[in-house]
Amino acid sequence: MKAIIYRDHGGPDVLQFVERDRPTPEPGEVRVRVAVSGVNPTDWQARTGVAHRKLFPEITPHLDGAGVVDAVGEGVDPGRVGQRVWLFMAAAGRPTGTAAEFTVVPADQAVPLPDEAGFDVGASLGVPALTAHRALTVAEDGPRRLRPGALDGRVVLAAGGAGAVGHAVIQLARWAGATVIATVSGPEKAALATAAGAHHTVNYREGDQAAAAIRAIAPDGVDVVAEVALGANLALDLAVLRTRGTIATYANEGGHPVELNVGQHMVLNTRLQFLVLYTAGPQARATAVEDVTAAIRDGALPVGEAHGLPLLRFPLRRTADAHRAVEAGAIGKVLVDVMP
Ligand SMILES: NC(=O)c1ccc[n+]([C@@H]2O[C@H](COP(=O)([O-])OP(=O)(O)OC[C@H]3O[C@@H](n4cnc5c(N)ncnc54)[C@H](OP(=O)(O)O)[C@@H]3O)[C@@H](O)[C@H]2O)c1
């Protein structure tokens, strides 16, 4: 099979396009013929070694993807062969990511892909949708699960709503009934966040005006902020958060130091929740997978420019260019076409 591998940490040039034997599924695993592989910032961060050191001599990158189950290991229902699936965390603590014609994953990380969704949707879900789900389910007063109506009456602020995770936050929050406000850096991003389903967009670069604009939309304050740039935005979040509101942060884009106004956060009874998918735990991931699958069935998670997430495609042999695009902050979702 054709596969992308790297043996040493480094820039995109460490990625090699090679021929390898098909992997064999171990007990409890499935082998998937990959159609589309999804690229996330964590994939290039893993490749460089900034996120964590590699555990295997040779690694095929990428956590997310979509394809068709082609073989099963002992203990897995053979009826799954031929099933269309979406994959998450394929390369997490394993050497077999989705940037290859075949990958093997634990059976529960290959989730049946509803007929309503194509492989592009399937390959765009994993990291963004599961992270977004967690951000929307950690508030003190719940909900712990998402479904239509679960966020009725709540106001969600998707910081950086035109990013891949921000896009999933908007879509899931909207599906669950929230009023959704997205912050963006300008008109192009505002158009994308609106196409994704945001009711309102606010330019976060407009300082005090941004807080005033959000307060005008939500006079009682925001219930949940899904935050991509904690250091840069904490003052804004504090200015718009309601009492006992939640700031769920999954990144610190820009790397600004985080300065906590302890007194004001105490007065607000703020919940500040940090998130990372790898350590969210099996229970949180399993419920996220179920809810995300229900959202797919409802047609709530479309991708593509018309839905606020332009797709940038690369063939498997050009995976290094796909990494360069993500690293350079490409607008939209970067996909690698594995199956011709
Ligand atoms: N903790 C986790 O489990 C987890 C999971 C997924 C992703 N992440 C991390 O989250 C980050 C985003 O991932 P992604 O895939 O969504 O990337 P992406 O598609 O490149 O989106 C990043 C977004 O951040 C926005 N942004 C940057 N600075 C901002 C600021 N000061 N205020 C508001 N928005 C700002 C950008 O919008 P503008 O261009 O308009 O500024 C852009 O839309 C990455 O660092 C990634 O590693 C963490």
307 phi-psi bin (left φ>0, alpha ψ -120 to 50, beta other): alpha
Q: Where are the domains of the chain?
A: 2-124+309-337, 129-278
pLDDT in tens, 281-308: 999 999 999 999 999 999 999 999 999 9
Tell me, in angstroms, the distance from the centre of ligand 1 to residue 181's CA.
Answer: 16
Atom of ligand 1 nearest to the CA of 275: 1
Tell me, in angstroms, the distance from the centre of ligand 1 to residue 228's CA.
Answer: 5
Pocket of ligand 1 (CB under 6 A): 40-42, 127, 131, 159-160, 162-166, 183-185, 189, 204, 228-229, 232-233, 250-251, 253-254, 275-277, 329
**List of the chain residues with pLDDT < 50:** none
Give, using CA atoms, the residue closest to atom 34 of ligand 1.
160
Please give the pLDDT value at position 54: 81
C-alpha 304/C-alpha 102 separation (Å) is: 25
Tell me, in angstroms, the distance from the centre of ligand 1 to residue 260's CA.
Answer: 21
Which of 165, 167, 233, 234 for a ligand 1 pocket mutation test, highest count of atoms within 8 Å of Cβ? 165
Tell me, in angstroms, the distance from the centre of ligand 1 to residue 4's CA.
Answer: 25
Which of 189, 228, 230, 292 for a ligand 1 pocket mutation test, highest count of atoms within 8 Å of Cβ? 228
The angle at the Cα of 160, spanning 157 to 162, to the nearest 5 degrees, equals 110
Give phi and psi for 174, each to the nearest 5: -65, -45
Chain-centroid distance of CA 186 in Å reads 22
Closest by Cα among 168, 169, 167 to 156: 169
pLDDT in tens, 204-239: 999 889 999 999 999 999 999 999 999 999 999 999
Give, using CA atoms, the residue closest to atom 9 of ligand 1.
251
- Note whether 201 and 166 are within 8 A (CB): no
Atom of ligand 1 nearest to the CA of 333: 19
Atom of ligand 1 nearest to the CA of 280: 3
Q: Quick check: do 2-124+309-337 and 129-278 share a fold? A: yes
Tell me, in angstroms, the distance from the centre of ligand 1 to residue 160's CA.
Answer: 6
Tell me, in angstroms, the distance from the centre of ligand 1 to residue 250's CA.
Answer: 8
Atom of ligand 1 nearest to the CA of 232: 31
* CB within 8 Å of 32: residues ≥ 6 apart: 65, 67, 68, 69, 70, 85, 87, 102, 103, 104, 105, 110
Return the CATH superfamily for domain 129-278.
Medium-chain alcohol dehydrogenases, catalytic domain (3.90.180.10)
Please give the pLDDT value at position 55: 87
Q: Which burial class, exposed, middle or buried, applies to 149 when counting CB atoms under 10 A from its CB (0-12, 13-18, 19+)?
A: exposed
Give, using CA atoms, the residue closest to atom 14 of ligand 1.
164
* CATH class for the region spanning 2-124+309-337: alpha beta
Please give the pLDDT value at position 51: 73
- Note whether 44 and 95 are within 8 A (CB): no
Give the CA distances from residue 37 to residues 43, 54, 83, 148, 319, in Å, rounded to whole numbers and listed in that order.
11, 20, 17, 29, 10
